Amino acid sequence: MTAIALTIAGSDSGGGAGIQADLKTFSALGVYGASVVTALTAQNTRGVQGIHDVPPAFVRAQIDSVMSDLQVGAVKIGMLSRAGVIRAVSEGLERWSPMACVLDPVMVATSGDRLLAPSAVASLMRHLMPRATVVTPNLHEAALMTGQPLARGEDDMRRQAETLLGAGARAVLIKGGHGEGSESVDLLVTPRSTMRLSAPRVPTRNVHGTGCTLSAAVAAGLARGLRLADAVEDAKRYVSASIAGSSRLSVGRGNGPAHHFHHWW
């Protein structure tokens, strides 16, 4: 049986993040990728110049089209800029009940551009977070979702993850890539355990789309039938190697992308 993963996210015209990064990640990890486009962005390595939202009814139509035909093993959810689209995705998940779901609460681009309307944060947490197998916020997103200051260390990260568990999440992978120090530390927190994942921090600005890539890699592992902890470990290794290999690419004049195909090129 072919492992299939579905990304529900925005399109990045520059190719480094969003649906483009997700499909590259799925392919690199041996998973067939399908997609539901929630928004079009005019975007490059230097920032987001414009966003065109896809109507909620057409988002629903894309979900129904894919799920009624393909045997999707895992869903990755990325950029959902408006409350109406969030509700459409929630209804689709309820209708089709995928086996696994990774929610990446994309709120702010690497460039600092806002990708989720402030009024939609509560809707995302209420409608989608409880449906997800795991939620994958970075430090800035975790602070916004919990109403707490930006985490300054692993104790803060753990507390914020536990706050999200209390708000309905089943598991939280809180990403420390925006932190400081020689290590990039992520924490996978569940009601029963905490798993620490670390990798050497690579001194590079080629980190555009790395959050999308990590959540897509977790979804790819789940689609292949891995346990959550194993899928997260595999994803961390893949993203770390993609960042380390990013210097072999020369793309754009801003924050360049990770090298999704570092193993082959």
Query: Each residue of 183-241: pLDDT tens digit?
Result: 889 999 999 999 999 998 888 989 999 999 999 999 999 999 999 999 999 999 999 99
**Which pLDDT score, from 0 to 100, does residue 112 have?**
58
Residue linked to tokens 């990590």: 214
pLDDT of residue 137: 95
Global confidence as pTM:
0.95
Q: What is the pLDDT of residue 31?
A: 98
Give the pLDDT of residue 33: 98
Residue 115 has pLDDT above 70, yes or no: no
Averaged pLDDT, 168-189: 88
CB 106 within 8 A of CB 142: no
pLDDT of residue 111: 59
**Residue at 237: amino acid letter:** R
- Of 166 and 81, more confident: 166
AA identity, residue 17: A
Structure-derived torsion over alpha carbons of residues 172, 165, 158, 229, reported in degrees to the nearest 10: -30
- Taking all residues of the chain, what is their mean pLDDT, rounded to a whole number? 93
Query: Does the pLDDT of residue 114 top 90, yes or no?
Result: no
Confidence band of 94 (pLDDT split at 50, 70, 90): very high
Domain assignments of the chain as residue spans, ordered by start = 4-135+214-248
User: How much is the pLDDT for 35?
Assistant: 98
Average pLDDT rounded to a whole number, residues 88-95: 97
Superfamily of domain 4-135+214-248: Ribokinase (3.40.1190.20)
Q: What is the pLDDT of residue 173?
A: 98
- Least Cα distance to 8 among 83, 104, 84 occurs for 104
Average pLDDT on 71-92 reads 95
The confidence score (pLDDT) of residue 122 equals 86
Angle CA 212–51–33, to nearest 5: 35
Give percent of the chain above pLDDT 90.
Answer: 85
- pLDDT beyond 90 at 261: yes
CA distances from 12 to 15, 51, 74, 138, 222 (A): 5, 10, 21, 19, 24
Q: What is the mean predicted confidence (pLDDT) over 28-49?
A: 96
- pLDDT, residue 179, reads 63
Please tell me the predicted confidence (pLDDT) of residue 196: 97
